């Protein structure tokens, strides 16, 4: 059963007030070469909600998330943060918006460093070069303690006890949890997760779903791309169904799963629409 009734506070985990952010795709179309991957997609992820973007593999979920994360401009349409077209802004303005978004990937994406260094990466790149130099020197002489937000992010995914481990020694599930902590540490307003639990065991899946719920409780807008329909039903408030690169239906998760308007969505949910 999805959780459609929740109250999002507007405080970040550090206790500071959060800027509530709405991230939207407006009439997005995108392709690679001659192939069209996304066709006229419009959807938005609102503050304090989890939006599940579901659909079979290869339907464009990852491409959609990458466009929302501003990896590249769409062929047509706009990506908007609080109504502002991000590709109409200067590089610096877009970087500032990009830094309000965190992202977790499907594949193993940890750097060859300790767990805490991985999680601190987003904080480090936001520092001035002078601060970075000072941190690097402190790191060499062994005086640097992890930032409080690094510890908090690791606690959120239940990995605080492995803070000093080498990231390369982690299991796949642990690595995925650390990657999500890395996305959470800079305290983003939006969290994009691309199939974060595919091939993970139930314990790691539960830890990641718990982190999503906690992010939502702090007013973070969470977009989750998944082909796991049960997961979408468990955690999301709203669901958007992508088939063949188009969003054929979106709405409250309960309604989508119990009474879908589109017959293809019904068949997909029932596992009868085979690709």
What's the min distance (Å) between Cβ of 222 and other proteins?
Answer: 15
Residue whose token pair is 């997909």? 268
Q: Does 144 bind other proteins (CB under 8 A)?
A: no
Cβ-proximal residues to 66 (8 Å cutoff; 6+ apart), any chain: 72
Q: Does 203 bind other proteins (CB under 8 A)?
A: no
- The interface region with other proteins, picked from 3-11, 75-83, 160-168, 198-206 by CB under 8 A, is 160-168
What's the min distance (Å) between Cβ of 161 and other proteins?
Answer: 16
Q: Does 61 bind other proteins (CB under 8 A)?
A: no
Q: At what angle do helices 202-217 and 172-184 cross, to 10 degrees?
A: 10
What's the min distance (Å) between Cβ of 124 and other proteins?
Answer: 8
Secondary structure of residue 45 in the 3-state scheme: strand
Query: Rounded to an integer, what is the distance from CA 14 to the centroid of its chain?
Result: 20
Q: Does 53 bind other proteins (CB under 8 A)?
A: no
Q: Does 158 bind other proteins (CB under 8 A)?
A: no
Residue whose token pair is 């020197």? 137
For residue 2, give the nearest of 218, 207, 237, 227 by alpha carbon: 237
Q: E strands along the chain, which residues? A: 23-32, 35-45, 50-54, 76-81, 84-85, 101-104, 190-194, 221-226, 238-243, 246-252
Task: Tell me which residues in 213-252 interact with other proteins (CB under 8 A).
Answer: none
- The interface region with other proteins, picked from 40-48, 143-151, 169-177, 214-222 by CB under 8 A, is 169-177
Q: Does 167 bind other proteins (CB under 8 A)?
A: yes
> How far apart (Å, rounded) are the C-alpha atoms in residues 209 and 211?
5
Q: Does 179 bind other proteins (CB under 8 A)?
A: yes
Site map 84..123 versus other proteins, x via CB under 8 A: -----------x--xx-xxx-x-xxxxxx--------xx-
| Nearer to other proteins among residue 1 and residue 32 (C-beta) | 32
| Nearer to other proteins among residue 111 and residue 275 (C-beta) | 111
Q: Parallel, antiparallel, or unpaired for β 101-104 and 190-194?
A: parallel
Q: Parallel, antiparallel, or unpaired for β 221-226 and 190-194?
A: parallel
User: Is the Cβ–Cβ distance between 119 and 154 less than 8 Å?
Assistant: yes
Q: Which of 182, 218, 234, 238 binds other proteins (CB under 8 A)?
A: 182
Q: CA angle 44-178-121, nearest 5°?
A: 85
| Nearer to other proteins among residue 121 and residue 267 (C-beta) | 121
Q: Does 168 bind other proteins (CB under 8 A)?
A: yes
What's the min distance (Å) between Cβ of 114 and other proteins?
Answer: 9
Q: Does 170 bind other proteins (CB under 8 A)?
A: yes
User: Is the Cβ–Cβ distance between 116 and 102 less than 8 Å?
Assistant: no
Q: Does 261 bind other proteins (CB under 8 A)?
A: no
Which spans of this chain sit near other proteins (rule: CB under 8 A)?
Answer: 69, 71, 95, 98-99, 101-103, 105, 107-112, 121-122, 125-126, 166-171, 179, 182-183, 186, 192
């Amino acid at each position: 059963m999805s959780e459609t009734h929740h109250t999002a506070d507007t405080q970040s985990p550090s206790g500071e007030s959060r800027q509530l952010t709405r991230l939207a795709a407006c009439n997005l179309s995108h392709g690679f070469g001659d192939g069209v991957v996304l066709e006229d997609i419009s959807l938005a992820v609102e503050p304090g909600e989890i939006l599940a973007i579901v659909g079979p593999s290869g339907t464009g979920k990852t491409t959609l998330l990458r466009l929302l994360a501003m990896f590249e401009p769409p062929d047509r349409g706009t990506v908007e943060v609080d109504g502002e077209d991000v590709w109409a802004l200067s590089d610096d303005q877009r970087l500032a918006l990009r830094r309000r978004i965190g992202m977790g990937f499907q594949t193993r994406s940890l750097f060859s460093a300790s767990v805490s260094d991985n999680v601190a990466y987003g904080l480090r790149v936001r520092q001035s070069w002078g601060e970075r130099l000072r941190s690097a020197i402190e790191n060499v002489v062994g005086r640097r303690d992890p930032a409080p937000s690094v510890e908090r992010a690791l606690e959120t995914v239940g990995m605080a006890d492995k803070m000093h481990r080498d990231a390369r020694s982690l299991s796949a599930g642990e690595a995925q949890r650390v990657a999500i902590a890395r996305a959470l540490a800079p305290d983003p307003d939006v969290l994009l997760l691309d199939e974060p639990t595919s091939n993970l065991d139930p314990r790691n899946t539960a830890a990641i779903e718990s982190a999503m719920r906690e992010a939502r409780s702090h007013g973070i807008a969470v977009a989750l791309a998944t082909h796991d329909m049960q997961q979408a039903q468990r955690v999301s408030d709203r669901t958007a169904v992508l088939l063949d690169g188009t969003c054929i239906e979106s709405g409250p998760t309960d309604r989508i799963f119990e009474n879908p308007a589109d017959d293809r969505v019904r068949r997909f949910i029932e596992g009868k629409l085979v690709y």
